[in-house]
Amino acid sequence: MRKSIAILATMAALALAGAAFAGSYPERPVSLTVAYSPGGATDFQARIVTMVAAKKEYLGQPVVIINKPGAGGKIGWNYFASRASTDGYELAAYNVPHFIAQSIKFKTKYNINNLEPIANWGADPAVLVVNKNSPFNSVDDLVKYAKANPGKVTVSGAGLYVGHHIAFLQIQKATGVKLKYVPHKGGAPALKSVLGGQVMAGVNNLSDSYRSRANLKILAIADLQRDKQFLPDVPTFKELGYDVDDSSVNFRGIMVRKGTPKEIIDFLSARVVEMFKNKRVAKQMKIGGSPLRIMTRDEVIKMWKARQAFLQKLLADL
């Protein structure tokens, strides 16, 4: 039985990827390291996008999620880049710009050169939010107040050198005012301090802010276009005349370690993209309030390089 599946899988691979390679990869379950704790957005989405992996037309084997949380993702990624196997049985989830910014700012064992992207499944842009009772009704209100009171406007976000922090730095640069960043232990506590009035504003995930929209004012979105699915009325910073692009968007996807054979990378990048496009995956992501953005390996390689160049410049000024 297993042999026939293997033969089928190989044949399908030949047809799909167009690359010939011997062997019957994968013949046992594949693990996916998630550098964040269970229940967080990355973990939750990783479980959804891999739930159909065992189907013949995708990997033919289930994907097992292994959580290695700690230090903003550094623990899991350090482990992965230095100790994971390169036989295609160990995958990991990446978060851009987090891991790239960390590799620039800290001594990490990972950087874009020793990891190989497979495919991207999602993109969660950062949004600027204030409490429902805040006097600020627009980005301009906030900027006007901050101009009169430099350094007095507190803005919460999830930690240093994560998407929220990058967006904060860009907003500060584009508006030319001095704001005060208050790092938190994660997106949820950062949003809590906006809702509880401990800080004046916050940079947070679109998906989480969308869920709390009854108690928030969402002022702007740090992306190139509006989010038509969830927040069609919220303008982008660009529309408002501030030069903030999509560099802070939290991209999530799957990668392997460098040194993994090319045939396996080709097999995975062809199959995984198809797996992300599965109807059940799309439906489950939508009801979970998580925006899908599927990108192929080549697109991700370009995106990683662009982020690396951009972040190097942005973080050099600090």
Partner 1 sequence: MEFLQYFSAVLTPASLLFLGIGTIGGLILGATPGLSPTMAVALLIPFTFRMDPAQGLILLGAAYTSSVAGGAVSAILLKIPGAPANIATALDGYEMAKKGQAAKALQMCFVSSAIGGVIGILVLIFLTPLLAAWALGFGPSHLFWIAILGVTIIGTLDARSVVKGLLSGAMGLWIATIGYDSIQGVERFTFTEHLDGGVNVIAALIGLFAIPQIIEMLEGGRTRKTIEVLAVERHSIWASTREVFSKLRALGIGSVVGTIIGLIPGAGGQIAGIVSYDQTRKFSPNRDRFGKGESEGVVAAESANNAMVGPSLVPLLTLSVPGSPTAAVLLGGLLIHGIFPGPDLFSKHAAVAWTFIDSMLIGQILMMVFGLYIARLAARVVLIPPAILAPAILVLAVFGSFAVQHSLSDVFVMLTLGLGMYFLEKVGFSAAPMVLGIILGPIAESNYVQGRIIAEAGDGIFAYFFTGGLNIALIALCLASVAYSVAMEVRQRRLARIEGGAP
Burial class (CB within 10 angstroms; exposed 0-12, middle 13-18, buried 19+) of 107? exposed
**Cβ-based nearer residue to partner 1, 9 or 153:** 153
Q: Are strands 90-96 and 250-257 parallel, antiparallel or unpaired?
A: antiparallel
231 binding partner 1? (CB under 8 A): no
**H or E element, residue 217:** strand 216-222
Q: Which DSSP letter does residue 133 get?
A: T
157 binding partner 1? (CB under 8 A): no
129 binding partner 1? (CB under 8 A): no
164 binding partner 1? (CB under 8 A): no
> Using CB under 8 A, which of the segments 88-96, 114-122, 187-195, 255-263 binds partner 1?
187-195
| In the complex, least distance from residue 60 CB atom to partner 1, rounded to whole angstroms | 20
56, 144, 152, 277: which one contacts partner 1 (CB under 8 A)? 152
151 binding partner 1? (CB under 8 A): yes
Q: Give residues 61-120 in contact with partner 1 (rule: CB under 8 A).
A: 66-72, 74-75, 78-79, 105-106
43 binding partner 1? (CB under 8 A): yes
**Cβ-based nearer residue to partner 1, 281 or 300:** 281
| In the complex, least distance from residue 301 CB atom to partner 1, rounded to whole angstroms | 27
**Cβ-based nearer residue to partner 1, 16 or 160:** 160
Q: Tell me which residue of 161, 36, 154, 157 sits closest to 98, measured CA to CA.
A: 161
23, 29, 189, 259: which one contacts partner 1 (CB under 8 A)? 189
Q: Tell me which residue of 232, 228, 229 sits closest to 218, measured CA to CA.
A: 232
Helix, strand, coil shares, percent, the chain, to 5: 40, 20, 35
Cα 318 versus chain centre, distance: 23
47, 55, 226, 293: which one contacts partner 1 (CB under 8 A)? 47
287 binding partner 1? (CB under 8 A): yes
> Using CB under 8 A, which of the segments 13-21, 53-61, 177-185, 249-257 binds partner 1?
177-185
Q: Give the integer Cα–Cα distance in Å for 126 and 135.
A: 21
13, 30, 46, 48: which one contacts partner 1 (CB under 8 A)? 48
282 binding partner 1? (CB under 8 A): no
Interface size with partner 1, residues (CB under 8 A):
54
CA distances from 271 to 1, 50, 68, 264, 295 (A): 22, 11, 25, 10, 12
Tokens of 180: 């005060």
Q: Give the integer Cα–Cα distance in Å for 77 and 112.
A: 12
| In the complex, least distance from residue 185 CB atom to partner 1, rounded to whole angstroms | 5
Asked if residues 99 and 73 have their Cβ atoms less than 8 Å apart, the reply is: yes
148 binding partner 1? (CB under 8 A): no
1, 39, 233, 317: which one contacts partner 1 (CB under 8 A)? 39
**Cβ-based nearer residue to partner 1, 5 or 195:** 195
Burial 143-175 (b: 16+ CB within 10 A, else e): beebeeeeeebbbbbbbbbbbbbbbbbbbbebb
Concatenate the DSSP letters of all residues of 50-112 into one string. TTTTTSTTTTSS-EEEEE---GGGHHHHHHHHHHS-SSSSEEEEEEETHHHHHHHHS--S--T
Sites of contact with partner 1 (CB under 8 A):
37-40, 43-44, 47-48, 51, 66-72, 74-75, 78-79, 105-106, 151-154, 159-161, 180-185, 188-189, 191-193, 195-199, 208, 211-212, 214-215, 284, 287-289
